[in-house]
Structure formats: C-alpha cells, structure tokens
Structure 1
Amino acid sequence: MELDIAVHPATADRFDDLAAILAPRNPDAPACWCLSYRVPGAEFNALAGADRPARLRRYAEEGTPPGVIAYVGGEPAGWCSVSPRSSHHRLTRSRTIPAVDDVPVWSIVCLVVRPGFRRQGLGHALLAGAVEFARSRRAPMLEAYPIESGDERISTALAYVGTTSLFEAAGFERVVKTSSKSGGRERWLMRLPLEGEQPPEVDAAGG
C-alpha cells in the first residue's frame, strides 16, 4: 500500500507537529532538539527543558524554517534539518567537517523518522522534500555528512545523520571523506548541485 506522504517546511505554525517528532517522553530530558550544530556549545549546554524547543522555534519565527516535516496521512512522521551551513555555528568552526570551498551551501545534519513509520521508505520521501525545499529557497548546493553504512543495518541512534546509500539514491555524490565519525563509523561530505534548476518559490514538496 502506497503511503500518503506530504512534506512541508517547519514553519512556526507547524511547530507542534515538529515537537511530536522530536520531543522526548520526559520533557526535562536533555534532548538535542537539533540545536547541537546550530548554537555555540556554551549556549547549547545552558539550555535545558523547555528552553531547547523554544530556541529551535525561534528559527522558524525569525526567518528561514530550520527544516521540513513529513506527514503520512496528515500525521507528523518525520523531520529533516536543512538550512544554510552558515546558520550552523558548529559547522562553520568544524575541523572534522571543514568547508571545501566558498559556495554558500545548505546543510542536512539530521533525519528523524518516528517509530511506527520506519522501514517504509519514508526517509527517501523526506530527503526528496528537503531537496525541493532548499531548491525553492534558491540554495545553490546541498550538502550532507552521512555515515558509511556498508551492508549492515544501522541503529536509529546512528541513523540520524543518514547513510551514504540513502543520499546516493537521491543523486548526492561523495566529495571527501571527513575525519568526523558517528558511532565509530566514517562520515562522508556529499553534495547535490541545485543551481540551474530553480523553480518559482513554493511551499516545498507537497505544498
């Protein structure tokens, strides 16, 4: 049975849907809320409890939505963090994932699929929606930093950065092997050119 999937930018009015995907069971648990790459380490460590989701919401309220949300039958099911690399404090200063040139790339740093929606191909649809969103915002290039998965099954704890096979299936190409690792696995810097394929600005895939 084919899933009824729609992917939309994570605008402020959709933040409750994003919270349904990212919120831990214990609201006081130190969940990342996709901030560890975005804000300086001192600020990240100082944020606790409800402060972290509030900080992420500010990105949507102040400018470019911080990513896209996938819906299955209208229910929030997945999240992909996609925004300009320059908006990620940790990336702009990273020694393990350095910039390879001066192109103002956008970065994908996280993909999350809720339990109950996994292993149904939603990751591919979510990534396709992220690509369309970046393209609609005139991003010249999209970048990601997935792990080398090989033929082994990857745990959900590691899969948040994506796998090389997932990104290759979406047309991304390997640029350079980084010195960053996730769960002991090597991570690649991969890219997908978007320039020259710019449609009129839209509400991303499905919108």
Structure 2
Amino acid sequence: MTYRIEPAAERFSDLEDLFGTSGAFSGCWCMWNRQTNAEFQEQNYEPNRESLRANLAEGHEFGILAFDGETPVGWAALAPRGEYSRLSRSPVTKPVDDTEVWSVTCFVVRKGNRGQGVARALLAGAEQRARELGAAVLEGYPVAPDGDLVDTEAWHGLESMFVDAGFTEVARRKPRRPMYRKTL
C-alpha cells in the first residue's frame, strides 16, 4: 500500500484524529522527548496538546503524517536533535559525537493500520522531509525486540525498519536500544 506523507504543520485536526483523547499515549502529544520528567508530569494531556497545537500553528517542524486516502493513519516526530532535550540526558540516546543531526524519535500508527508498512513509509518520509529542510544526517533510536513486543514499546520504531532503509548502527548502549544514522 502507498501512503501520502505530509508535514504536520497546520494539520492539527488530523493529528487529533490520529492521537485521540489520550494524545497517542498517556497525554504525551509527542512532547516526552522535549521535556524533563517533572515538566511532563505537570503538562501531560491538555497542556501538552495545546503546546503541540500552538507550535504546529506557528509552522514549527514537529513531524509528519501518513494518510490512507484522507484518513490520517500514522505520525513520526521529526526535528533537529537539539530540540529534544531528553535525548542528551539519556544514557541510551546521548550523542555519540558532535555531528549535527535531525532525529526521528516517535512513530504512532493507528491501531487498525499496524503491520501494513505505515511506519516504514513514515521513516522514508522523514528522510525526505529532513533532506528538504537541509539536514545532512538523520538519526533514530529504535527498539530491537528480543521476543514479544508490546505496542507501547514500538513507538521508537523497530530496528529492522532502520536496517532495511539503509541506516547504520552507531551505538548500542543497551542490548535492545541501538542508535542508527543515515547520511542524506
């Protein structure tokens, strides 16, 4: 199946449709990697929703959406790594060097569309969008399943989709959490 990929800016109603009232998961609204734990606890649900809405309305680059016809079926968070403060604080995702990279940090796929290539289409779309915005390197932080994987773990993306898309492993600080890069 082919999915249409669009920048999320000015498409908040589509994002709301995809994320539902929970903001994809636990009121996140894709703000987790942009906040400290304390900020996330204070701002989850409605404050996070409003923050994402305001940023998209102002044209900030927060991510891309995948559509099946007119229905939003997937989301990938995409921005320069520096916009994700949590990445530098995490022992798993801290930078391996000083390379300026864009990061794809989160994948959300509508429940009825999982297992149909939406996340892979989003990763390809993230590459294209990052390239259009001047990025030279794209970095991701997938999960490497070692058995059964629950849906709430898959939001990082799966290692296999990064490998299949030509990304190269640059770090693995925990057995199930590699870091991958691709020169664009």
**TM-score under structure 2 normalisation?**
0.91
The residue type paired with residue 128 of structure 2 is: E
The 1-side partners of 2:26 and 2:115 are apart by 27
The 2-side partners of 1:175 and 1:145 are apart by 10
Please show how residues 11-90 of structure 1 align to structure 2 within 5 Å. 11=9, 13-24=10-21, 30-90=26-86
More helix by share: 2
The 1-side partners of 2:151 and 2:92 are apart by 23
The 1-side partners of 2:30 and 2:117 are apart by 22
In structure 2, runs of 5+ residues without a counterpart are none
Of 7, 11, 17 in structure 2, the residue corresponding to residue 9 of structure 1 is 7
1:154 Cα deviation after fit: 2.5
Count matched residues. Answer: 183
* Worse overlay, 31-40 or 65-74: 31-40
Q: Say if 1:175 and 1:189, in contact at 8 Å, map to a contact too.
A: yes
Larger Rg: 1
The residue type paired with residue 96 of structure 2 is: V
In the alignment, structure 1 residue 156 sits paired with structure 2 residue 151: yes
In structure 1, runs of 5+ residues without a counterpart are 180-184, 195-207
The 2-side partners of 1:153 and 1:166 are apart by 17
Q: Say if 1:64 and 1:83, in contact at 8 Å, map to a contact too.
A: no
1:153 Cα deviation after fit: 4.9
Secondary structure of the 2:91 match is: coil
1:63 Cα deviation after fit: 4.5
What is the percentage of aligned positions where both structures have the same residue? Answer: 37
Report the counterpart of residue 116 of structure 1 in structure 2: 112
Please show how residues 137-156 of structure 1 align to structure 2 within 5 Å. 137-149=133-145, 152-156=147-151
Q: 1:144-173, CA deviations, whole angstroms, 9 ceiling, x for partnerless residues?
A: 1111125x4532111111111111111111
1:18 Cα deviation after fit: 0.8
Report the counterpart of residue 170 of structure 2 in structure 1: 175
In the alignment, structure 1 residue 193 sits paired with structure 2 residue 169: no
**TM-score under structure 1 normalisation?**
0.81
1:128 Cα deviation after fit: 0.7
Report the counterpart of residue 202 of structure 1 in structure 2: none
The 1-side partners of 2:173 and 2:52 are apart by 27
User: Which has the bigger relative contact order, CA under 8 A and spacing at least 6?
Assistant: 1
Of 76, 98, 101 in structure 2, the residue corresponding to residue 105 of structure 1 is 101
Q: Say if 2:141 and 2:156, in contact at 8 Å, map to a contact too.
A: yes
In the alignment, structure 1 residue 165 sits paired with structure 2 residue 160: yes
Q: Say if 1:111 and 1:160, in contact at 8 Å, map to a contact too.
A: yes
Q: Please provide the CA RMSD for this pair.
A: 1.9
The 1-side partners of 2:32 and 2:109 are apart by 19
The 2-side partners of 1:30 and 1:14 are apart by 21
